[in-house]
Structure 1
């Protein structure tokens, strides 16, 4: 049966009928939060805690749950001023009033139980509770990486059997109705140390079954009696007892209370202190504190930091705005370079060039600035100027990679342009044409799109396997689509846009479309030949955002103007339809990435016989946007991959296959951290035939990049996806094989990956046959779409 152009494949039909899953649900990325119970009396302590957390861990910003029974609006505003991701949760006080207590009338005793409401939260995988009489003095990354059990520091006076509940690291298995029922039963029975309140209940329920943390994570004040200094390795200092620092303190603890008063700051002082910290800073904190600090002070260095944070998150206009709001001295070159970057990213090219020329006056900023000037010239089609700027950059820094790539890309700028076929015989093709040493998947894509479209546009209804300049006119998506480009397109038979994840905000930012094709609206709307959008992907990561107004408008116009608009997975279809008016939803159809049907497209393809495959397993890991991929779990991922490699290496040679140069990092890190060595296959240096041949000859590919799964699958090779991006799950859902994926955050990644890999290897012939069968379903969709393309584009 031939699939209709709009019909999902396999499990996709069920998936399409349900609400889209969150990116977190698709990737398995852990959701973490901090939590505290706060009331008006302890508010000063909590504000100091928030300041200390940001200043001691400037690269950490997770949700902070404020449990409360009532807070004044002014108090809520004070809290919001100190943290960008606060969530307020009102406690059901009546529940805890039903507990047996040592002193029912003491309000402090009554409220001591309210922190237990944290166990009723269901939105997180890990929650770290902090008492409001604590300050954070050191790195908490070890706590953020914990994956097992309920962790706490044992009590100072009572040995190792009982925990101090001032700090708890709670994993999802304890955030359950069953555990809450045990808490309630114990509280109502009174079968616990009544004078220990919430702590007494937890110790009764757990009976010593908790993960023991070092005392530095809950270093109680009583350890410092006699005015001892706070140890240097203290991560969290806890002011236990009746006397709190904000209430006047207690004799004999002067040095400890001095540490607390380091965080007794006004908002303005706190913002200035945060912007002065060194090391990694979290985007949300930089933007929250830095924006207000810059507005108050006009500080240029803080404005640069805020702008840089915006750029890293795709907020290019916001970056331009904040740096444009301050006076940058002529000789302060770094802010000029960042402003130039922001301006070119919103297509304010002439203004950008001024800023970049100013920045190029410093040897420290010159190579990067010349590289950006070269990029602007290349975007405008001036290869000669781009080459000259790249050479200037290399004169300053011969190792500067963007300038080296631009030199290679433009080294033939003074040669005659290659001869093309007749315009009336050609299709124009907008794509991301990968330069030398670029991403192997992106290198293969343009040719794969041409082969797939050629199945419907050959003479007399046959296939046209020609992918060169005679039949195709190439238009790089990142170059400005100006009036001259428009004229060239309108002289062709049609325009094909694809493939790859062109709907992504930061690979080649511009202000004309806010996605990878740099096309102004007026030129898009002046195209008068059929427009075919073919197998494009919506590739935004969880945590990335588009300039919504510009992107949404450009997307809508593209869909309206297209004669054929197809996305490469149903997850992308869901995302794009959500941005379009309902009247355009039916125009968005499914077309698998053509790399997934490679065996059907390549003329003369021959599958390797079982004995011809090499006894290898190839592993690919991606490191672009590593923070969005791994969160706090990279050390865990690396350790689990080391386990899997050791286990699989007993069955086949395990190799690292690098789609881009950065992908080699897993080989370096495994060797350095776990003494595991992998040979590296530099696929970024391969041509398209070598890419296909390499993937066709191996037995299994375990890949994190989308095309480290789709290309080997298209070549008939079994795959397992390391899921760190929703698109991986989208593809596996479309082919009804979700078990071929495992999250990089999976608690048991090493054993799960080993088990699934060995399952595919043990019945390799059956696994290959399964791949062929799944691929055949995608080929049916491609053939069905080809019939429509034939009518649109003709022969």
Structure 2
């Protein structure tokens, strides 16, 4: 079975001053979507009305708006830029250039004669062909003719348009008029034409005699003047979006539904400057916080909020942002103000417990968690911190060796029902240095805890400090203002580490489109590389991204150290490959940062997975492997939408040995999480990766098997996944041999690096 190859084109990064959005769509296959409108100078006011209608009816959508024009000066678009943060002017010969827009995978072409009245989600989810509405040419007469009109809505999938089709389109339908009859545009589009419901390109000529606009209309297109007599309801529908900029901003703020943070910040900030209000300040600050713009959130909210006791949610938001900037004393004060409200108290006390734990104040953290449970005995966050900080759970367990005989391990140590991969990984790192992974040999330093003077003294007392592994180069999860990645260490403290320091199998884990405050991170990264005796990243993709942030003199110090979970067969004492495997295929999906993973394609992904799993269930026991409770969302979604029920293996409740055993005995693992690929691979099990994050593609490239990965955005994901999975099951012994062979290369690198590190730590 063969399917068309889907390709994507790299695109420019987006962001704000001192920020950038990492754009890895060429790695993950994530679609880049744009709206496009062709205009001249006279129709720019109509384009402004179109933009307002789009924002007010689809408040959670903020894609590029490409304005095609015949050569207008750049200043012509300033008014549009005030209304939308992603205006992209491009000179074009005509409207037909929407079929040739470079840098985008899907283009929704609108016209200045349109207004948007409803949800456009269905158009954004289209994946094939060129969508258009076939319109009546005869106004309902008997024997009427139907055709695609040249100035109508188009939904273009660039992968389905070649130069010949674009030329035919331009020849037949790129004029400003014409009716497209006699098979014109229909013939030009041919088999790629995908009919779209008329509600997405509803013509006002159907509303003569002041007929009301039907409620289901999503896009209304005017076929005459906007104020033409006899079309009063249509004109009134459009007039709703003819407003001043200030009225537009206020209307966007008031519109119900989730709002896109870029659009929210762009439109709400001018209102806040003109008339400061606490409610609006919190709205803007929440948007900034979701983007990781914590300093901007503080600048917006703090001056308006003050020490008010009647705004606990605002105090909570401000406290969280201050904590993300490592302004801990101020954050604690704000969260205490928030905790005075019974409605907010449980959440605020959970955050206070986390803050106290970050600062090494376990007794205070335990007390805060207890207060939160007194406010709400069912609060999960407070319960987790109450258990985590109870007496006897500190970092110095009984039976430890003398500090000089230990290695310090800085890592994310998952607990309870947290991510199974984050529990397997720290043990795998330690196994690289011997079979004893417990407290006698190792001193644990949780990566998110502040390295203060006391912690620095503990680290320096050890024979070496290992930071790793995991995707610690990440701006969120537990943000801090000291390093802007996951290790919470100020530069001046880092400079005073005297024990040998090794960064081991760390990954650059930034998602597609995720904002990263590069300046502070780059400074802290440079200090880390300079201080490290060994600096190893877990894939070459991470190596390239990190080297780009370093001065030339430090780049060669960044080297390759695979994730140790990928060589588990060589590390786990007494390991034996299973004599017999179960007839099981394990499937895993990830839902953290789902918007960044799936974009507009989650429904498509679910449908394609249903297609593949239906085929696989005929030849294997297909089960779901959940690394954490949130992963289980896939199971009810699949059952609800496609009637497929899967049994669940809850890996987050298993021991590390049980996790490895489950993966080792499976015949195939299809995983979206990084460690849903690396752990089974390390156990010798064939894998297929569902790529929604660059790190999966980086790993497959390193082992020379990019064909083991499929983008979650792949238009043919279902049949391709079924085909590749079937091929592995048909030739399973050969597939296992390929895994073992690829693993040997990783083990060779790891073994060499371990030998070097033993000398660094005085263990040779």
User: Contact between 1:657 and 1:680, CA under 8 Å: does it hold in 2?
Assistant: yes
Question: Partner residue of 2:158?
Answer: 172
Partner of residue 368, structure 1: 347
How far apart are the structure 1 equivalents of 2:501 and 2:182? Answer: 66
Aligned to 1:36: 37
Say which SS state the counterpart of residue 465 (structure 1) adopts: coil
Shift of the alpha carbon at 1:71?
Answer: 2.9
* Aligned pairs for 1:281-300 within 5 A: 281-300=259-278
Q: Does 1:688 align with 2:656?
A: yes
Worse overlay, 724-733 or 380-389 = 380-389
Secondary structure of the structure 1 residue equivalent to 2:559: strand
Kept in 2, the 8 Å contact 1:193–1:201? The answer is no
**Is 1:725 matched with 2:710?**
no
Q: Deviations over 1:545-576 (max 9, x none)?
A: 22222111110000000000000000000000
Q: Which of 267, 273, 293 is the equivalent residue of 1:315?
A: 293
C-alpha spacing 1:789/1:417, structure 2 compared with 1 (3 Å): closer
Deviations 1:48-75 (A, max 9, x none): 0000000000000111110001335553
Question: For 2:136, what is the secondary structure of its paired residue?
Answer: coil
Structure 1 pair 401–46 and aligned structure 2 pair: CA distance change class (3 A): same
- Give the corresponding residue for 1:144: 124
User: In the aligned structure 1, how far is the partner of 2:168 from the partner of 2:212?
Assistant: 40
Match of 1:98 in 2: none
How far off is 1:306 after superposition?
A: 2.0
State which of 331, 340, 361 in structure 2 corresponds to 1:352.
331
Report how far residue 350 of structure 1 moved: 1.1
Aligned equivalents of 2:194, 2:187: Cα separation in 1: 15
Deviations 1:66-85 (A, max 9, x none): 00013355531001111111
Gaps of 5+ in 1: 1-20, 93-113, 455-463
Aligned residue number for residue 258 of structure 2: 280
Match of 2:198 among 215, 225, 232: 215
- Is the 1:333–1:360 Cα contact (8 Å) retained in structure 2? yes
**1:394 maps to what in 2?**
373
Contact (CA 8 Å) 1:122, 1:175: kept in 2 or not? no
User: In the aligned structure 1, how far is the partner of 2:529 from the partner of 2:348?
Assistant: 36
Q: Report how far residue 363 of structure 1 moved.
A: 2.6
Partner of 1:9: none
Alignment correspondent of 2:215: 232
Q: Residues 198 and 472 (structure 1 numbering): CA distance in 2 closer, same or farther, change over 3 Å?
A: farther
1:643-792 matches, within 5 Å, as 643-792=611-760
Quick one: which of 148, 152, 156 aligns to 1:163? 148
- Measured in 2, the distance between the counterparts of 1:673 and 1:389 equals 42
Compared CA separation, residues 331 and 198, structure 1 to 2 (3 A):
farther
Q: 1:498 & 1:81 partners in 2: Cα distance? A: 45
Find the counterpart in structure 2 of residue 574 from structure 1: 544
Q: Which of 294, 318, 326 in structure 2 is aligned with 1:339?
A: 318
Q: Residue by residue, what CA displacement relative to the aligned partner does 1:701-725 show, whole Å, maximum 9, x if unpaired?
A: 1000000000000001110000000
The answer for the alignment partner of 1:503 in structure 2 is 473
Q: 2:199·2:217 contact (CA, 8 Å) conserved in 1?
A: yes
CA separation of 1:793/1:240 partners in 2, compared to 1, >3 Å: closer, same or farther?
A: same
Gap change, CA 1:772 and 1:198, over 3 Å in 2: farther
Q: Secondary structure at the match of 1:778?
A: helix
Which deviates more from structure 2 when the two are superposed, residues 310-319 or residues 133-142?
A: 310-319
1:252 to 219, 230, 236: 230
Distance, in Å, in 1 between the alignment partners of 2:180 and 2:679 is: 59
Q: Provide the secondary structure at the position in 1 that maps to 2:515.
A: coil
**Distance change >3 Å, CA 264–CA 411, structure 1 → 2:** same
Instruction: Supply the distance in 1 between the matched residues of 2:182 and 2:286 (Cα, whole angstroms).
Output: 44
Number of residues of Structure 1 aligned to a counterpart in Structure 2: 734
Q: What is residue 101 of structure 1 aligned with on the other side?
A: none
Equivalent-residue separation in structure 2 for 1:375 and 1:677 (angstroms): 38
Instruction: Kindly indicate whether residue 185 of structure 2 is the aligned counterpart of residue 202 of structure 1.
Output: yes
Asked whether the equivalents of residues 294 and 303 of structure 1 are also in contact (C-alpha less than 8 Å), the reply is yes
Cα contact 1:218–1:236 (8 A) shared by 2: yes
TM-score by length of 1: 0.90
The two structures have a TM-score, normalised by structure 2, of 0.93
* Structure 1 residues 738-792: Cα deviation after superposition (integer angstroms, max 9, x where no partner): 1111111111111111111111111111111110110001001111212221221
Which of 304, 308, 313 lines up with 2:282 in the alignment? 304
Q: Distance in 2 between matches of 1:686 and 1:413?
A: 23
Structure of higher RCO (CA pairs closer than 8 Å, 6+ residues apart) = 1
Segments of 5+ residues of structure 2 without an aligned counterpart are: 1-21, 139-143
Offset of 1:413 from its aligned partner?
A: 4.9
Shift of 1:310: 1.9
Report if aligned partners of 2:312, 2:341 keep a CA contact under 8 Å in 1.
Answer: yes
Partner SS, residue 170 of structure 1: strand
Q: Describe the shift of the 1:500–1:406 C-alpha distance in structure 2 as closer, same or farther (beyond 3 A).
A: same
Partner of 2:243: 265
Q: Distance in 2 between matches of 1:600 and 1:186?
A: 65
Does structure 2 conserve the Cα–Cα contact (< 8 Å) formed by 1:163 and 1:199? no
Cα 1:410/1:82, change in 2 over 3 Å: same
Aligned equivalents of 2:27, 2:472: Cα separation in 1:
21
Give 1:426-445 correspondences, 5 Å limit: 426-445=406-425
The separation in 1 between residues aligned to 2:500 and 2:192, in whole angstroms, is: 68
Partner residue, 1:514: 484
Equivalent residue number for residue 598 of structure 2? 630
Looking at structure 2, the residues matched to 669 and 519 of structure 1 have their Cα atoms a distance apart, in angstroms, of: 41
* 2:373 match: secondary structure: helix
Kindly report which structure 2 residues correspond to 1:52-63, keeping only aligned pairs within 5 A, or say none.
52-63=53-64
The aligned residue for residue 70 of structure 1 is: 71
Which stretch shows the higher mean deviation, 226-235 or 53-62?
Answer: 226-235
Please list the CA deviations of residues 79-122 of structure 1 after superposition, one character each: whole Å capped at 9, or x if unmatched.
11111111111123xxxxxxxxxxxxxxxxxxxxx211212212
1:494-573 correspondence runs (5 A): 494-573=464-543
Q: Please, what is the CA RMSD of the aligned residues?
A: 1.9
